[in-house]
Structure 1
Amino acid sequence: MPSLSDLLITRIDPLELDLATADGIAEVLTASSAAAGLGMPPRSGAAALLSRQLQSDGTPVDGLWVATVGDRVIGHLDLELPAQENTDSAHLRGNVHPELRGHGVGRALLEEGVRAATDAGRAKLYTGAFSGGDGIAVLERWGFTATPGRYAVRRVDLHEAPHGLWDRLYDEAAGHAADYELVHLVGPTPPGQLEQMATLHEAINDAPADDEDEEPALFDAERVRRYDAAMAGRRQTVHRVVAVHRSTGEWAGLSMLCVDEFGPGLAFQEDTSVVRAHRGHRLGLLMKADMLRWISRERPEVGAVDTWNATSNHHMIAVNERLGAQVVAEHVGYRRDL
């Protein structure tokens, strides 16, 4: 184990983050995922760099610290300060390389983040850790309390799924949704459809929240445009399946999946939502089954899809399990009042 006598923690402007440092952050992320038993593919420095410069709205993270020993990155911390909703909150995401935990590196990074969040006038600090890892005990020792935000991470193996499974589920759901058709969209939403897409994004607010004190994200056309531009800038190809009501032309439902072009082997299921007036037609199952058929056909390099569900979201969990998703991890949210 290297000596920590020359440990250095540096705050970096995310827009000046260089690829060599981002490669170091990616190495820490890869090692941390392996230690947690997540079965994630290796992270790429390019993805780590762009995600911190663009997030999901085109803006950089509000704080970025790296812990180094000599030329080696051994830890990092990201600070996000919500600017639209929940402006009394701050979010931290960070890791220390498993080989170097237990020597105060994580606490030193946390102190930097707490100081910056406090200086920004934030009253609540949120973070999280995976069950079974050492992060749970550490966060509780540092004064964090578990929130209702408990998520199960489920994975669908696209290459080992039973033959015809998604076709059968699609046909089953389609029998209850004869009044709807599905549309495929790849990449940014066409400008003339941003308002309709915003309505579909906002329908996700009915899902269980991480914390009952949190305000839901409000979507409009500009927010969707910024999201799409950020994903494109991060080389994240967004695939959307949209359910459209045949007789009225109303957009009724949405299922999204992102493929990281720097590492397309594992894709990520994003929001699946149905507008309240169109529920009860199995559109969620229809769209998600169609997405898996589409991705497995058009993107054979994608071997698996991960999806996160609040453990209280029993309806969507049932849908995902029918699609072949199996639990690979559980993530627990934590909060500390400042």
Structure 2
Amino acid sequence: MTRGKEYSRDDRYLTTRITADGRDGFPVEPGRYRLVVSRACPWAGRSVIVRRLLGLEAALPMAVAGPTHDERSWRFDLDPGGRDPVLGIERLQEAYFARHPGYDRGITVPAIVDVPSGQVVTNDVPQITIDLSLEWEAYHRNGAPALYPPALRPEIDAVNEVVYRDVNNGVYRAGFAGSQESYADAYERLFSRLDRLSARLEGSRYLVGDTITEADVRLFTTLVRFDAVYHGHFKCNRQKLSEMPVLWAYARDLFQTPGFGDTVDFDHIKRHYFTVQDDINPTGIVPVGPDPSGWLAPHGRAALGGRPFGDGTPPGPVPAAEVVPAGHNPAPPVSR
């Protein structure tokens, strides 16, 4: 946060791609790469959900960093000895420096690391999930849904653009605003967009078409953090999500769909925002609430029709090593 300044996200990503034909020098190979995430981060949450929906757990193993970090980077403090057991590093920063010594941009998650070299290949948030859908198709599970179907891509892209600008990044523009004017602008744009999304979803179960797509994934990761973090911590307080009937029901529908709620860790989410962002919360006190049990309340959205996975099927059980710890989530979500 810089007093008097509008918040600006550093989106200078490493845009190298992992592709089926290896045209950037990194071909899709099962087991070669490691997806590094934090369950606290909404941007990383996208890749966790898409990876699970597509059934890429075996092809693209995942490393989960702890919910807090310092100025140096995310830490593997959830692992024995504080090191990722495959990469052998304590901090994600080491993989960035292996690629670019003295790397001076954000050490961000999600990041995909090439295990043989120990180097980050990409942290290009919007491209990673698209490539998981398109470039990793040979390793999708049987019954994997089409999250980015060709006929719907222009509409998905258009929805994603405004959701990113006004909602995904909009909550940050409000929370890290350096002036009353920039905060008010972010606040108005956020809630205006949420109102429009609510109107769009009033008669449609999903954002684009009648199945879950990339657009739903991108909106969900912000909505699921809204009441726990953004409403109070980021001053996005016109209403709670739970006070917006259509969006609240839509978010619960997704949460209760396998692949969404079973990736969410409310404990990590709150510890990250309220501990790391000490310019906003200098005491470091982490709120006890809100009660997450409401996420399991009936949503009634099935009456709108739609097929969550299209011609596909739900993902199977979460791999044992990736189950969110008991008490960090209200309960295992169930389909409704």
Instruction: Report the TM-score, using the length of structure 1 for normalisation.
Output: 0.30
Name whichever structure is richer in strand by fraction: 1
Rg bigger for which structure?
Answer: 1
Instruction: Report the TM-score, using the length of structure 2 for normalisation.
Output: 0.30
Name whichever structure is richer in helix by fraction: 2
